[in-house]
Structure 1
Amino acid sequence: MGCQTIELQTLNDNEALDLFKAHANINNSSRGLKGMPEKIVKHYGGVLVAIVAVARVLKNQSTPIWKDTLKTLEDGGVDRKLEEAYKCLKLSYDNLKNEKAKELLLISSLFPEDFEILINVLTKIGTGLGSCGENDEHHAKRSVVHAAIMQLIDCSLLLRGEEECINMHDLVHEVALWIGDKYIQSVIDSKVAINKNLRYFFWKGDDFLNELDGKELEVLLIFLDGSKDLEASDTFFIEMKRLKVLILAISEATFKHLVGIAELLFSDDWSEEMMWKNLIPDVIPIDNGGMMNDLIVLHLRHVPNIECLIETENHNYDVSAFSNLVGLHLFYIDVEDLYRGSLPSGFF
């Protein structure tokens, strides 16, 4: 893991011990611990985020777990400057009994530092991985994933961000990437070499990837910044037999292009910032040659601001749209009318 300067909020010894005891729920009746809290706190270096994370994981745990924690702290070792904080946060990760929570913490580290991750998006990723039990109902899986996210927040390994978002402390982000170093990678510089045998991968750039060793890949997150047409090799996904979750975030121009040529369009959870009130002409401009006539199935869910599919009130000529549409599914959308203005030819 590359070197990086990380500013940490630190406490003096007394403040650190008081904070640790508060979050670990230690009181005068906790006599069986025999000075272990004081010994463990010495390893923190006063790093607030590490103190809170480890204390909450050890809360209400048995004495043998406390002894194992102290022994691990005394035996381990990482980078000198951040050694104690790394060890403490690694312990917090190791002591999580919830395997789904461990998985979600590593996946969260794929996103760039200070990135606001929508809880709904992280929930979808965790649900898509399906390790809650393959036969569970979808809503049951979502409940398990949501509970795991809440546990990470309670342990301060994830932090509540703006609105319905979470983020990670820079140090936690670094440690999570270090823990998953052999099978997770986040690339925001196209010059960086991509590792092989990855399970979780994040790519952010102007263009689609040329190639990727995807034989072990389970989660693929692609964020494209460019305004170019999306071009991907026909064989790009052919080896990704284990892929369970694919998120493709694209520019507005690329999105509009794909919508215009799609045959099957399934689109969920548009951003509130997308102020489009219709598909035509706000997304697809009106064209005398016809619009979205290749589309066979249209599925929209949780799309804010949309009032109708087609708006032709300010156009005086006949238009053709949705002439091959056979399936229309609208969920949680406040559509007032399917069309406004003259009825496009081929629509019904």
Structure 2
Amino acid sequence: MAPGIDILVNCAGGVGATAFIEAVKKATRYWWEFTELVENLGGEIELLESVCGSMEVQVINAGANSRVPGEDIVLQLKNAATLLKKAKDQEMKAKASSDCCNGAFPNLICRCIVGRKTEKMTNKMKELKDYLQQKLDFAHRSSLRAMSLPQDFIFFDSIEKARDEIITALKDDTKLKIGLFGMGGCGKSSMLKIVHKEAQDRELFEKIAFVEVSDPPNILDIQQAIASWIDLNFETEMDKHARAARLSMTLEKDKSYLIILDNVWRMLKFDEIGIPSRKNCKVLLSTRHKDKCTLMDCQKVIPVPHLTKDEAWELFQQRAGAITEEVKNQAEEVIVDYCRGLPVAIRAVASTLKGKRDYAMMEALTQLKHHTLWDANSEEEYNPYKCLKFSFEELKIEKEKSLYLLCALFPNDAELTLETLIRFAFGLGIFQDVDSYQSARRTIPTVIDKFKDSCLLLQEKGQHVKLHDMFRAVALSEANEKTRVLTEPSQNLKDLDGKQYFKETTRLYYHGTFDFPHRLNSPELEILYMSNDNGYLSKFPATLFEEITKLKVLAIKDTSGFTRPALLFPQSFERLEELRTLCLNGWRIDNMSCFEKLKMLHSMELSSCEVKELPEATLKKLKLLEVSCCIIGANPYEVLARCSQLKELYFVKNSVPNMVPNDQNVATFIQQLASYQVLQRKQSKV
């Protein structure tokens, strides 16, 4: 008996007419809904292929992190491949059966048979798709891609020639390390961004990492940055040696990699970072000095050319706008003799002159010619620095200069968040007429935008900005020892005990071992930013803070990332009666009772800290509180629910291991937040 007849015979074999009719209805449904069944099969094929694709990406990423997927996942992916092949064959058969009997009339029995098989195949695929979806740990993140250059960027002939030379070297299998050199402000970073996008668009490498190297270089930061670009997760590797081993294992795989290292100030040992010397893994770096390229064994060394006279003038006109003939001759002289073809200097001068009347522009150019500056390394560097100082001194409002000098407090190439600048500037009271964070969030971003429009600050990704190292040198010179940045291992604070070195200092950034003198002899100090990355306990001398009673902003950070060392506050900490902003990051803090003595404290940030409990007495006088990524011993919700005076609250990604937040805890907390009439900004994730 034919299979199609079997369906109807089985239906007729029922014990009653009703059962027979129902069976016939069920069978004929395959014929009646045939087109929909075929469409459903096609839809499930697409969905299963999509889930399998995501799962395969997850398996690949797991392999990059030396993780092996479970046997069940491997088996089900094989089953999915087999099922997809069968489903596509079934789909073809179903479409072919649409016109059986030469299209004159669809064959009832044929469609019933094919329709039933199509539905069974669709259900199998749906079950497998649902199973694999449950096994997906996370939604797949797209790999990072090169940032686009500004729309007004001009590709001059000199730039294109250098770019082509770099691309040619990247294609040469004998060139594993390529060095780019040129003086500050000549466009090395822009060139690397151009090459990054070009190599990505041409698919010259499967993975490309772009890393901005700090001075002094932080190996852990470099390793983490590379990992982010190549989709590698450091799960158990916390110190630089373990990370170097994991990174090297990944980069030695069959994929092709390009590691771009921008702004290298000192010699790097690539094996310490975890960058292997292999044909599949190339390094492209930029530095100011040619000899650094030689020391790091670059097989190809390429200079970044300065702009030609015509190119420099075109860039100047683009930035400054229309220039009259009366001004043109004097402006051309400045661009040629002082800016020396450096884009950073040309943009700075042009932005400063933009919008001025002719007489004001002529006067400004005359002043620039007669500027004096500290000793530069050479005459070649001297004139461009004069241009940058000229732009800086066009900031006529003292509080704007003060905010700009605050940007210079951080190390070379540091990416500054707008939020950090707002909190620090408000804590320092730079803008005396700004008496609330709400007002600060209007005023300070407006001034930051002015800096960016004048090319005094560089816009980075998101809400980040950066100070070009040449502008930073100008700003620190202008600060005249009132702003000090100590990042060298040799610059140990303890060696300065009893000296007059910090007598006039008002702003101090220190990164290094927390080995302090008995007291900081800085009676005018207003902001102190201390950080280290060694993960050791930090105990301050009892009298450390006795002489810095004018301190308004204090930040103490451990950036090791793999431990939370204990932070012990000395008795002299209570003498900081003018302290307004306190930022603590990466510490275990067992006792915060001393915070109650800080009478003027209005802003506190606890990030990646471990605390026994939130200091309620201190919190009740704050305007701004941030608690993020912290481990908290006692119930924080009850404490926060009683802090009704807060105007800004950020409580995000915290862990309370000793309690399970029940509905009542969270409900009370959320209810209280909603009732705070003065609360202006909040972010909570409980």
TM-score tier by shorter-chain length is 0.7 to 0.9
Preserved CA contact (<8 Å) 1:56 1:154: yes
1:156-193 Cα deviation digits (max 9, x unpaired): 21112233211122222222222223322110125336
- Structure with higher Rg: it is 2
Cα 1:269–1:97 shift into 2, 3 Å: farther
Cα 1:54–1:7 shift into 2, 3 Å: closer
Q: Distance in 1 between matches of 2:430 and 2:604?
A: 25
1:268 aligns with 2:605: yes
Matches within 5 A, 1:91-130: 91-130=390-429
Q: Out of 548, 556, 561, which is 1:240 matched to? A: 548
Q: Distance in 1 between matches of 2:541 and 2:652?
A: 38
Aligned twin of 2:660? 340
Aligned twin of 1:318? none
Cα 1:5–1:209 shift into 2, 3 Å: farther
Matches within 5 A, 1:191-210: 191-192=490-491, 194-210=501-517
Preserved CA contact (<8 Å) 2:185 2:343: no
Q: Distance in 1 between matches of 2:465 and 2:661?
A: 43
Which region of structure 1 is more displaced relative to structure 2, 12-21 or 220-229? 220-229
Q: Distance in 1 between matches of 2:487 and 2:586?
A: 24
Aligned twin of 1:229? 537
Letter in 1 for 2:431: C
Matches within 5 A, 1:43-192: 43-78=338-373, 79=376, 80-134=379-433, 136-192=435-491
Cα 1:208–1:258 shift into 2, 3 Å: farther
Runs of 4+ more than 6 Å apart: 335-338
Q: Which runs of 5+ in 1 are unaligned?
A: 285-290, 311-320, 343-348
**Length-normalised TM-score, structure 1:** 0.75
Q: Out of 249, 253, 256, which is 2:565 matched to? A: 253
User: What is the SS of the residue equivalent to 1:340?
Assistant: coil
Q: CA deviation at 1:137?
A: 3.6
Q: CA deviation at 1:48?
A: 0.4
Preserved CA contact (<8 Å) 1:101 1:152: no
Cα 1:233–1:21 shift into 2, 3 Å: same
Q: Distance in 2 between matches of 1:221 and 1:234?
A: 19
Cα 1:169–1:335 shift into 2, 3 Å: closer
Which region of structure 1 is more displaced relative to structure 2, 113-122 or 228-237? 228-237
1:110-145 Cα deviation digits (max 9, x unpaired): 211111111211122222222322464442234222
Preserved CA contact (<8 Å) 1:57 1:96: no
Preserved CA contact (<8 Å) 2:315 2:347: yes
Q: Distance in 1 between matches of 2:327 and 2:505?
A: 41
Q: CA deviation at 1:68?
A: 2.9
Cα 1:236–1:218 shift into 2, 3 Å: same
1:26 aligns with 2:322: yes
Cα 1:267–1:5 shift into 2, 3 Å: same
Q: Distance in 1 between matches of 2:588 and 2:629?
A: 20
Cα 1:309–1:227 shift into 2, 3 Å: closer
Give the number of the structure whose residues are more often helix, by fraction.
Answer: 2
1:264-302 Cα deviation digits (max 9, x unpaired): 5975374xxx5xxxx8xxx46xxxxxx54x944475845
Q: Distance in 1 between matches of 2:523 and 2:462?
A: 37
Q: Distance in 2 between matches of 1:39 and 1:222?
A: 45
1:41 aligns with 2:371: no
Q: CA deviation at 1:195?
A: 4.0
User: What is the SS of the residue equivalent to 1:100?
Assistant: helix
**Length-normalised TM-score, structure 2:** 0.40
User: What is the SS of the residue equivalent to 1:126?
Assistant: helix
Preserved CA contact (<8 Å) 1:53 1:155: yes
Q: Distance in 2 between matches of 1:269 and 1:39?
A: 53
Q: Which runs of 5+ in 2 are unaligned?
A: 1-181, 188-305, 567-584, 597-602, 663-686
Cα 1:142–1:238 shift into 2, 3 Å: farther
Preserved CA contact (<8 Å) 1:98 1:148: no
Over aligned residues, Cα RMSD in angstroms?
3.5
Q: Distance in 2 between matches of 1:85 and 1:60?
A: 22
1:16 aligns with 2:312: yes
